[in-house]
A and B are shown apart, each in its own frame.
Chain A
Amino acid sequence: MKTRDLVDLASRNLREAALRNTLTTAGIAVGVASLVAMLSLGIGLQTLTLNRLEGTGLFNTIYVYPKTNRGGRGGRGGEAPDEARPGDIKMLTDQTRKQLAAMPHVVEVFPELRFTADLRYAGAGHVTSAASVPGTAKGTGQFDSVQGSFFSSESAPEAILHMDLAKQMADEAKIQPADLIGQEVVLRYPQRKPVPAAPNQSAADQAANDEFGMGFTIAPAETKVKIVGLVENEQAGPGGLGGVRILLPLQFVEQLNAVQGSDVRSVVQSPDEHLYTSLTVKVDDPKRVTDIEPSIKQMGFNTFSLFDATRNLHIIFTVLDLFLGMFGSLALAVASLGIINTLVMAILERRREIGVLKALGAADRDVRRLFFAEAGVMGLAGGALGVFLGWAIGKIINFGINIYLHSQNLQPEKVWFVPWWLVGAAIGFSVVVSLAAGLYPAARAARLDPVQALRYE
């Protein structure tokens, strides 16, 4: 029998016992909905967690440190310091920054600039730590909860204050912390200035100045910055801004030429060019980290990344999805018993019809395929309905969760996610389970003796 005829006859048979078949199909739909609901919850949580983690920039980031002939920064974050030979020093220069930025899949390279600053407001000074923030930090989610706004540009003389500092300043000025937003404050900081060569200084002396870090002086400097935002949370860890109370735009900080306290030795190594204590390399996809990190190491630098942590998270979520899928499949297993029951009932009811079909020339194979098609049509319809139900349940639960999150003053989240592949896989799985459930009834129908069937009343 041609497939079109088979589907037509199967659909006709299903319509004949509409109530029973609709209930069976509804059973499959509930099973599929349960499966879809469970898996989409797992996928949603996975997506949410990974997006959040990747959004922090930790997982598509490689931290690059100079390789020195001693321990220290090179070993930061768990990377063992190399047993470098004396004199085997590879510093992070502007040239390095350009080289790294030119690498494929690298979207951004920026330094970590930290310095001690004195923020003066209402006649009082507040000595604390200031740090640069790249413009891309806005999209990482780190500043989602900023009160006020993010920097208007990378070179704007603007500051975002940590709430601890803001409260202290506000208390002293007897205002609310939020009132600081829009205020202009004075930032005092130690500025690095090259020492001009003395008129009678020999070239050898000038070189000695450079070599021993005597080629610049540190002078107090000040500039005005406008407070644009306040943040509560503190991003600690590699590349984070733990302990920092004043956040400033990266390019603005670079123009300040502030002395950084983190590694004076490397800074003073060559006063004529920028040396960085570390560079942060952002790549377009966390998966690229494994390709790019070894290349940077080959360039002679120490590196650190957290990519392995995401790989482990993927494994954990895969196991979670597997368990959720197994629990979700239980309802589908029960529904498959409904299919068997329905089709066995159909054989009893349509015994004579099967006999007639065989008398008219239906082979066992045709009868088997007909019952298979009926099981398949129920599986397909139940699968499609189940996916819709699962999606609708997800929407409702998502809606409920977001109402709760809103009541807790939290950002709305998408904890329920039904990807397209799940739609196809759930319907496919439903059809396969239904066909498997139809195996026994189909075989039984095919084996029916036409002589007995035609005699049956």
Chain B
Amino acid sequence: MNDTQPALEAKEVTRHYAMGETLIRAVDGVSLSVAPGEFVALLGSSGSGKSTLLNLIAGLDRPTGGAVLAHGRNLAEMSGDELAQHRNRTVGMVFQAFNLLPRMSLEENVELPLRLAEAEYDMRAGRVRESLERVGLGARMKHRPSELSGGEQQRASLARALVNRPTILLADEPTGNLDSHTGEEIMSYIAQFNREMGMTVLLVTHEPGLAERYTHRQFYLKDGKLSNGLQAGGGAA
């Protein structure tokens, strides 16, 4: 990994869907660059294409055109297995709906990325504990998600995103299902990871206030296009 290289880069990225005879341009020629350790927000109204762009960057979806690069590697050129590895090791994801598996304890949920990474068994317990303690859930390891509040579930989701020590954190409206106080708490954790661990963070949100308080830069998307490249907040990198 080269530090002068952007952590994330989108070059004229498009993602079009055919819906009947109508072509939906969910992402339409977006170019942006995020430096390593930068905390940026992707803002826009519902249906603006911000989650689609996040999915393209996460490697969950492939663009119709253009290129998405993570640490200089073009995701479009990766095989299915390489993309899976990208999702497992390079990026960590948190979702609005937390997406913890309800029948597993927090400990088991957090261990999932380690299982997928085929991590050694003897190091797993330590990594899981470390991640959960980092979000203040060290005492709730054996609890199931249904026994936790929304904020705790999102913290557990953060711990799961951290456990493989990725360099990029992708957060898709992580406060969308939380009250404002709990939302602030989650944002504080994300900002802490950015600050202390040097993680590059891409936050998708529709709350400009939240974005302005926590992120270094904001990108605005409208109808799949970037409406202005750089917003207030200055560059962190």
Contact = CB atoms under 8 A, between A and B. Distances in A.
B184 interface: no
Interface string B89-111: 10001010001010110000000
Contact of B115 (A1, A16, A364): A1
A5 B55 CA distance: 27
A5 B99 contact: no
Contact of B87 (A352, A358, A449): A358
Contacts of B197: none
A359 B85 CA distance: 10
B51 to A, nearest CB: 9
B101 A451 contact: no
Contact of B112 (A352, A360, A363): A360
B185 to A, nearest CB: 23
Contact of B95 (A2, A12, A358, A454): A454
Interface string B65-85: 000000000000000110011
B99 A366 contact: no
B112 A365 contact: no
| B55, B101, B103, B115: residue with the most chain A Cβ atoms closer than 10 Å | B115
Given A1-B115, A2-B115, A451-B60, A361 B101 contact: no
Interface size class of B (residues with CB under 8 A): 20 to 34
Nearest to B166: A361
Interface string B40-72: 000000000000000100101100000000000
B24 interface: no
Given A16-B103, A451-B55, A360 B87 contact: yes
Contact of B101 (A4, A353, A362): A353
Nearest to B89: A361
B160 interface: yes
Contact of B81 (A352, A363, A454): A363
A9 B114 CA distance: 13
B236 interface: no
Interface residues of A, number: 25
Nearest to A350: B101
| A5, A359, A363, A449: residue with the most chain B Cβ atoms closer than 10 Å | A359
Nearest to A449: B61
A363 B115 CA distance: 12
A346 interface: no
B84 A450 contact: no
A360 B99 CA distance: 11
A364 B79 CA distance: 11
A357 B117 CA distance: 12
B116 A362 contact: yes
A6 to B, nearest CB: 9
A364 B83 CA distance: 10
A450 B87 CA distance: 12
B60 A366 contact: no
A320 interface: no
Nearest to A450: B60
Nearest to B163: A360
Nearest to B118: A2
A17 to B, nearest CB: 10
Given A1-B115, A1-B116, A353-B101, A360 B60 contact: no
Contact of A361 (B95, B104, B116): B116
Given A16-B103, A352-B99, A361 B87 contact: yes
B85 A361 contact: yes
A360 B118 CA distance: 13
A445 to B, nearest CB: 14
| A5, A9, A352, A361: residue with the most chain B Cβ atoms closer than 10 Å | A361
B113 interface: yes
Contacts of A359: 58, 60, 87, 93, 95, 99
B131 interface: no
B175 interface: no
A186 interface: no
B116 A360 contact: yes
B95 A363 contact: no
Nearest to B85: A361
A359 B87 CA distance: 6
Contact of A454 (B87, B99, B118): B99
A360 B86 CA distance: 9
B205 interface: no
A356 interface: yes
Given A363-B84, A366-B84, A12 B103 contact: yes
Nearest to A5: B115
A356 B115 CA distance: 14
B154 interface: no
A361 B117 contact: yes
Interface string A1-42: 110110001001000100000000000000000000000000
Contacts of B103: 12, 16
B88 interface: yes
Contacts of B85: 361, 363
Contacts of B101: 353, 356
The 10 A-B pairs at the shortest CB distance, nearest first, are namely A361-B88, A363-B84, A361-B116, A5-B115, A361-B87, A356-B99, A450-B60, A363-B81, A360-B113, A451-B61
16 contacts: A1-B115, A5-B115, A16-B103, A356-B99, A356-B101, A359-B93, A359-B99, A360-B112, A360-B116, A361-B85, A361-B87, A361-B88, A362-B84, A362-B116, A450-B60, A451-B55
Given A9-B115, A355-B99, 5 more contacts: A2-B115, A12-B104, A358-B60, A359-B87, A361-B85
